Chains A and B, each alone.
Chain A
Amino acid sequence: MAPPLTFLDYIDQHGVSRRAFLKFCAAAASSLALPTGAAAEIAARLGNMHRPSVIWLSFQECTGCTESLTRSFAPTVENLMFNFLSLDYHHTLQAAAGTAAEAAKATAMRENAGRYLVVVEGAVPRRDGGVYSTIAGRTNLDTLAEAAQHAAAVIAVGSCAAFGGIPNASPNPTGAVAVHDLVRDKPVVNVPGCPPIPVAITGVVAHYLTFNRLPELDHLGRPRAFYGNTIHDRCYRRPFYDQGKFAKSFDDEGARRGWCLYELGCKGPVTYNSCATLKWNDGTSFPIESGHGCLGCSEPHFWDAGGFYRPLSTPTRPVAMAAAAAVGAGAAAGAAMVLHNRRRKRRAKQDHQPATVNDLEKK
């Protein structure tokens, strides 16, 4: 058998020069906000890397995250790197099916025990023993538990895997939960988004492959490099927000002038992601630039955040009923007080004995 291919060999075979590779490593180091020496280190490690095994699990998902990742207009190093991974199990991309596919997964997990990466796309249903999503006759719960057991790390790709996403949205009939609710004893990184920006996924993988650990994460387990700022903080329309210039409806004067979309429901201020800087489709655009408010898709419960077109300052639940009930209750209590006060005053008047001068002094 030929010696295992290194990544450097692999890209060389695909016509990418060592120089281009080094540029990629510098860019990766930069986007991961790593110190200057890191670029060389990434180059050394990545260059000598052998094909890592990746088990990609698809649960309650739409496959949008895979689509995002594989959508690429030009071969990029990330792309190649992704292709370099030994994607030993992926429903959409694999050639095998049925028992053959399951067997391939089992073999990969056994041969790479302790070293393989698990990528999860989609949420996991828990209700009724997890019957609402099964593969090859087994619940997702079981499948995840088995895969995680000997994994090196788990990457929850997309908001569904990271936070429960759309399956988890009210009323959550299947009892869908996120990966981190189930996997407790392995490092888990969340790469949310609906879908995530492709380089966010590959950046995490690159970091892990290079340094053998996950990048710095925020309190929600997201890599700070990509989720450290809000859309609002980097939005090019921010000056309009500050000036108080808002579009009031789609295609009105303000909208056509590119004013802030806060009043049209933009969730930018509370959404941590890189859309405003890295953008989509190789930096072409992002929702706000196209005139639509941010949906907040990389945040937990974004689907239940009160409505995509309802501004952040508005209630997420109707208040009319509660208000009416409260007025009624207040009126009832008030009526009781009216009766009480009137009665008390009447009694005081009845108890009033007309005062004489002698009454003014105490005996």
Chain B
Amino acid sequence: MSASLERGLNLWREVLDTPSASFFMSCVHCGLCADACLFYTETGDPQYTPIRKLEPFRRLWRQEYTLLGKLAAKLGLSRPLTDETLAEWSPLIYDSCTLCGRCSLACPVGNDLAYLIRKAREGMAVAGHAPQGLIDATRRTIESGSPMGVRPAAFMTQVRKQSEASGVSIPVDQTGADYLVIMSSMEIIGFPEYLGALARIFRQAGISWTVSSEAYEATNSGIQIGVSDLAREIVMRIVNAAEKLQVKTVIGPECGHAFTALRWEGPNLIGRPYPFAVVHVLELLDQLRTDGKLHTTGQDDTPLTFHDPCQIVRRGGVVDPPRRLLNQVASDFREMEDAGVANWCCGGGGGVGANSRADALRFTAFKRKKSQWDATGARTLVTACANCRNIIEEGLEHYHLDLQVIGLTELVASRLTPPANETETAAS
């Protein structure tokens, strides 16, 4: 069974619902969504207006689910949707949208455009119009377990290395642990210190936790490409491992779409609630802080600012924890303009980073984050999503900028009060 236009349109028919219809009915073509989207503001190209990206999807809704639309179609007064149309719209739906949801905040009639784009990708993908880079990443995830090809052995190697580096033995496949830690491939390959940092924090707080040798991949390429069938398969791996290990809570790592996939979409993908809870690592760290179990010494006095990962803050609801944590460990934390729920996207989430067709556009869009950062005067940027981190680092390289990006968990861990015996060792 291969991709086809009819499969795509059929999927569109299936996913259209009342919220979607209310959005299409309410849109008045005011264009305010464009002013909220960094792909428009940094290029000035009106084709990147969010609601415009949804035009074929809207036409399908109108032609199939409204009386007037049906009549118009029957009378030959409306343009039928063709494969060419979908092909033409593929860059708009995949290259110029990260599902960041800023447009959804801006729309005066309340349209959640990111919600619509997510659904639109369902049809586009099975019609064969997803970008190749994303298809490849999804294939690797399905076939090897990770979009970047990280196999279990590679993961276990990192676990061992981080155990050594942190001086904490990292539990593996411990049935009955309270928490299951999963990671994104980007962290495993690029920022494995995250695991070591967690190990030290959890030791200090006395957390019972484990990793799973079978399910360590949090990234869900299925969500990004917009194929729920595949997203379901990917998320089930984590669900199965969590249920097998009988953990109480799964911790979402510093990866935006992983959190969206597991915390918010997962139960709906698999059709049932989880028997375990899901928290984001920042939520857990903030809880430890509140409970007095996060002991840090001193503060970093480097001027630093924070980039809000879209899927964690605006679309994930983890808004205040990063700030509270930063205020504990940093003395010169400066919020950038529009910080918080209305912050601007790094430009590389939602599959855009894996889509080489979108590179040029992504680097142009990055100018927004750059200018936000510049205005703070800080040379260091903290974030809590490995993909954002990678995208920002690639952006800095593109613009030849010598600035530093660090992860929040790592930063917190770097300020951890050493345990008693370690202090003596350090002193001696």
A binds B: yes
Which 8 interchain pairs have the tightest Cβ spacing? A348-B13, A362-B128, A348-B14, A363-B2, A355-B229, A354-B229, A357-B139, A362-B3
Over the window 1-32 of chain B, the binary record of Cβ atoms lying under 8 Å from chain A Cβ atoms (1 yes, 0 no) is 11110010011011010000000000000000
Please tell me if A185 contacts chain B, counting CB pairs below 8 Å: no
Q: Considering the complex, give the chain B residue whose CB is closest to the CB of A337.
A: B67
Q: Is the CB of A341 within 8 A of B65?
A: yes
Please tell me if A256 contacts chain B, counting CB pairs below 8 Å: no
Q: Which residues of A have CB within 8 Å of B130?
A: 360
Q: Is the CB of B10 within 8 A of A351?
A: yes
Docked CA distance A341–B63 (Å):
11
Q: Is the CB of A360 within 8 A of B125?
A: yes
Q: Which residues of A have CB within 8 Å of B405?
A: none
Q: Is the CB of A352 within 8 A of B10?
A: yes
18 contacts between A and B (CB under 8 A): A337-B66, A337-B67, A344-B13, A344-B65, A348-B13, A352-B10, A355-B125, A355-B229, A356-B229, A357-B135, A357-B138, A359-B2, A359-B3, A360-B128, A360-B138, A361-B135, A362-B3, A363-B2
Q: Which of B117-147 contact A (CB under 8 A)?
A: 125-126, 128, 130, 135, 138-139, 142-143
Please tell me if B225 contacts chain A, counting CB pairs below 8 Å: yes
Please tell me if A94 contacts chain B, counting CB pairs below 8 Å: no
Please tell me if A333 contacts chain B, counting CB pairs below 8 Å: yes
Please tell me if A243 contacts chain B, counting CB pairs below 8 Å: no
Docked CA distance A362–B6 (Å):
12
Please tell me if B312 contacts chain A, counting CB pairs below 8 Å: no
Please tell me if A353 contacts chain B, counting CB pairs below 8 Å: yes
Give me the interface of A with B, judged by CB distance under 8 Å.
Answer: 333, 337, 341, 344-345, 348-349, 351-363
Q: Is the CB of A357 within 8 A of B2?
A: no
Docked CA distance A333–B68 (Å):
11
Q: Is the CB of A352 within 8 A of B14?
A: yes
Q: Is the CB of A361 within 8 A of B65?
A: no
Q: Which residues of B have CB within 8 Å of A341?
A: 65
Give me the interface of B with A, judged by CB distance under 8 Å.
Answer: 1-4, 7, 10-11, 13-14, 16, 64-67, 125-126, 128, 130, 135, 138-139, 142-143, 225, 227, 229-230
Docked CA distance A354–B2 (Å):
11
Docked CA distance A351–B13 (Å):
11
Q: Is the CB of A357 within 8 A of B143?
A: yes
Q: Is the CB of A345 within 8 A of B230?
A: no
Q: Which residues of A have CB within 8 Å of B142?
A: 356-357
Q: Which residues of A have CB within 8 Å of B230?
A: 355-357
Q: Given that A359-B1, A362-B3 are known contacts, is A345 also in contact with B13, CB under 8 Å in the complex?
A: yes
Q: Given that A360-B135, A362-B128 are known contacts, is A353 also in contact with B2, CB under 8 Å in the complex?
A: no
Q: Which residues of A have CB within 8 Å of B125?
A: 355, 360
Docked CA distance A351–B225 (Å):
21
Partner of B2, one of A345, A348, A362: A362
Q: Is the CB of A353 within 8 A of B67?
A: no
Q: Is the CB of A360 within 8 A of B65?
A: no
Q: Considering the complex, give the chain B residue whose CB is closest to the CB of A360.
A: B135
Q: Is the CB of A348 within 8 A of B10?
A: yes
Docked CA distance A200–B131 (Å):
85
Q: What is the distance, in angstroms, from B379's C-beta to the closest C-beta of chain A?
A: 42
Q: Considering the complex, give the chain B residue whose CB is closest to the CB of A347.
A: B13
Q: Given that A345-B14, A352-B10 are known contacts, is A359 also in contact with B65, CB under 8 Å in the complex?
A: no
Q: What is the distance, in angstroms, from A326's C-beta to the closest C-beta of chain B?
A: 15
Task: Given A356-B230, A360-B130, output 8 extra A-B contacts at Cβ < 8 Å.
Answer: A344-B64, A345-B16, A357-B142, A358-B2, A359-B2, A360-B3, A360-B135, A361-B135
